[in-house]
Amino acid sequence: MTVFSTALGIAVGSFTVAVLLASTVLSVEVAAALLGRRRVEAHPGERGSVAILIPAHDESLLIASTIRSIAPQLGADDRLLVVADNCSDDTAEIAASEGAEVIARTDAVHRGKGYALDAGVRHLASAPPSVVLIVDADCHVSEGTVDRLVRASCATNRPAQALYLMQAPADAPAPMRIAQFAWLVKNRVRPQGLHVLGLPCQLTGTGMAFPWAVLSRASLATGHLVEDLKLGLELARDGSAPALCPDTLVSSEFPNSPVGVKTQRTRWEHGHLGVIARDAPRLLLDALKARNVALLAMTIDLCVPPTALLVLLAMASWLGGIMLFLLTGSSWVLAAATLAMALIGASVLSSWLVYARGFLPLSHLLRAMSYAVRKIPLYLRFLVTRQLQWVRSRRD
Q: Side chain identity at 164, as an amino acid letter? A: Y
Helices vs strands, H then E, count in the chain:
16, 10
The answer to whether 372 touches 308, Cβ cutoff 8 Å, is yes
> Is the per-residue pLDDT at 44 higher than 70?
no
Tens of pLDDT, residues 76-133: 999 999 999 999 999 999 999 999 999 999 998 888 899 999 999 999 999 999 999 9
Q: For residues 44-52, give the mean pLDDT.
A: 87
Q: For residues 323-331, give the mean pLDDT.
A: 89
**Residue 387, pLDDT score:** 53
> Is the per-residue pLDDT at 250 higher than 60?
yes
- This prediction's pTM: 0.90
132 versus 395: which is more confidently predicted?
132
Architecture, CATH, for domain 50-174+200-257:
Alpha-Beta Complex (3.90)
- Name the residue ranges covered by the structural domains of the chain: 50-174+200-257
Per 3-state DSSP, what percentage of the chain is helix, strand, and coil (rounded to 5)?
A: 55, 10, 35
**Residue 394, pLDDT score:** 52
Strand 160-161 to 208-211 pairing: antiparallel
